């Protein structure tokens, strides 16, 4: 028999032997290369830990209980370190512990619900209040503009000298075609409430029509809301005050980065995507980029001032939530001061506890939405 043929025949038993050996190693699988572990196969406990953590992350548990998630991650990483040092059994055992930690993340915490009622009571929460138009969301900031339009008594027509005021909104919305706006109309208190509400609605609708006809803004991007004599900005006992109260505001939803704004509005309302560990006011470094955008904006426009609002879910007592929400707002204020040199006289912190919910507190997702930080930035505009 020639040599090539002999090698082909002799290799066949070796292949069978290798396959037979692997078939008896059900606790091994193909090495995915994680952790720089050499070899083609690896103990299955190691990738089991990876899969458990990835599932927990996709289920949102890295957000719901971040401290516990990081602990499970650390346990998995330690398991790989031990395994890489050739302590195979010890590493596999640690990986099993990491898997158990990942699978046990964010268990139901009925005890934390006791201060605010049983789960049955939580389901029966009162309906959510109508949010102010200027309340920001994580996806969109609110760009608020007060239009210096003066109206004659009992009139809704935009006089020619005030068309440039409307152009401030029209030009902005043309530049940013994904924006939408609510045009708010107000009146003085002269006349009865029904007439004032109707007149303020007509004034808001007049601005909407002007934006459609003169700037080509689609009607689907605009809405009008009349508030009558509500929220006066002047003294209704004087002619000048009543004139101020007959005014128009535009609240524009912007899915923009704050750094993209070339001109600051009178008011900018931003919801910061900052999440805190349970009962903690420490800012996690992974949220610095989100906060830095606002800090750079405040530094660029030194005439701005900001109120940092802290909000919580309803877990815990009202006193605890009030204190915690203020501590979190204070943390953001101090960050702006220390990193960007913003004078503390331009910044203030306000804690609202659980009093301004934007979602129901009877689900983890709703509670997460309610744990938020808002930045309300006012700018002095010289006209």
pLDDT digits (tens, 9 = 90+) for 111-142: 333 334 444 334 467 888 776 767 776 667 88
pLDDT of 383 over the 60 cut = no
pLDDT of 81 over the 60 cut = yes
Task: Tell me what pLDDT residue 138 has.
Answer: 66
How many Å apart are CA 324 and CA 311, to the nearest integer?
A: 9
Confidence of residue 174 (pLDDT cuts 50, 70, 90): very high
- Which has the closest alpha carbon to 145: 173, 123, 168, 117? 168
Q: pTM of whole model > 0.85?
A: no
Task: Tell me what pLDDT residue 7 has.
Answer: 38
pLDDT of 221 over the 60 cut = yes
Task: Tell me what pLDDT residue 208 has.
Answer: 95
pLDDT of 57 over the 90 cut = no
Task: Tell me what pLDDT residue 380 has.
Answer: 60
Containing H/E element for 49?
A: helix 45-58
Residue found by looking up tokens 């109309």 in the block: 185
Residue 261, SS3? coil
> What are all long-range contacts of 241-246, with beta carbons under 8 Å and residues at least 24 apart?
241/188, 242/188, 242/189, 242/190, 243/150, 243/188, 245/186, 245/187, 245/188, 245/189, 246/150, 246/151, 246/153, 246/186, 246/187, 246/188, 246/203
pLDDT of 323 over the 90 cut = yes
pLDDT of 332 over the 60 cut = yes
Cβ atoms within 10 Å of 114's Cβ, excluding its own: 11
Task: Tell me what pLDDT residue 139 has.
Answer: 65
Confidence of residue 333 (pLDDT cuts 50, 70, 90): very high
Between residues 206 and 142, the one the model is more confident about: 206
Laid out side by side, the sheet with 372-379 consists of 222-226, 180-185, 248-254, 141-147, 267-272, 372-379, 304-311, 347-351
Out of 220-224, 279-283, 327-331, pick the least confident. Answer: 279-283
Containing H/E element for 68?
A: helix 66-84
Residue found by looking up tokens 């996690």 in the block: 284
| Average pLDDT value for residue range 334-353 | 95
Under DSSP, the state recorded for 106 is S
Instruction: Map out the domains of the chain with their CATH numbers.
Output: 26-103 (no CATH), 144-256 (3.30.1330.60), 266-383 (3.30.1330.60)
């Amino acid at each position: 028999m020639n040599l090539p043929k002999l090698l082909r025949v002799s290799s066949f038993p070796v292949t069978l032997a290798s396959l037979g050996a692997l078939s008896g190693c059900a606790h091994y699988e193909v090495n995915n290369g994680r952790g720089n572990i050499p070899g083609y196969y690896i103990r299955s406990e190691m990738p089991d830990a990876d899969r458990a953590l990835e599932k927990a992350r996709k289920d949102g548990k890295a957000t719901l209980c971040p401290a516990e998630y990081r602990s499970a991650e650390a346990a998995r990483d330690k398991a790989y370190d031990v395994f890489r040092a050739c302590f195979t059994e010890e590493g596999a055992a640690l990986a099993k512990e990491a898997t158990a930690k990942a699978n046990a993340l964010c268990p139901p915490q009925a005890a934390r619900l006791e201060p605010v009622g049983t789960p049955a009571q939580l389901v029966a929460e009162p309906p959510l209040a109508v949010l102010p138009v200027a309340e920001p969301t994580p996806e969109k900031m609110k760009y608020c503009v007060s239009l210096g339009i003066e109206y004659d008594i009992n009139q809704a027509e935009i006089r020619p000298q005030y068309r440039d005021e409307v152009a401030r909104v029209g030009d902005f919305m043309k530049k940013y075609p994904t924006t939408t706006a609510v045009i708010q109309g107000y009146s003085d208190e002269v006349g009865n409430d029904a007439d004032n509400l109707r007149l303020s609605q007509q004034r808001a609708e007049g601005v909407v029509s002007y934006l459609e006809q003169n700037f080509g803004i689609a009607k689907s991007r605009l809405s009008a809301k009349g508030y009558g004599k509500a929220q006066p900005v002047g003294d209704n006992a004087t002619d000048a005050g009543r004139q101020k109260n007959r005014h128009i505001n535009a609240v524009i939803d912007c899915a923009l980065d704050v750094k993209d704004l070339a001109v600051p509005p009178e008011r900018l309302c931003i919801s910061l995507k900052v999440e805190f560990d349970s009962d903690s006011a420490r800012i996690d470094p992974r949220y610095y980029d989100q906060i830095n955008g606002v800090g750079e904006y405040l530094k660029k426009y030194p005439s701005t001032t900001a109120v940092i609002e802290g909000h919580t879910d309803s877990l815990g007592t009202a006193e605890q939530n009030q204190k915690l929400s203020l501590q979190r707002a204070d943390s953001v204020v101090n960050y702006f001061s220390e990193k960007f040199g913003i004078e503390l006289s331009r910044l203030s912190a306000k804690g609202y506890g659980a009093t301004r919910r934007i979602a129901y507190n009877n689900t983890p997702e709703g509670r997460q939405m309610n744990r938020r930080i808002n930045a309300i930035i006012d700018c002095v505009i010289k006209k």
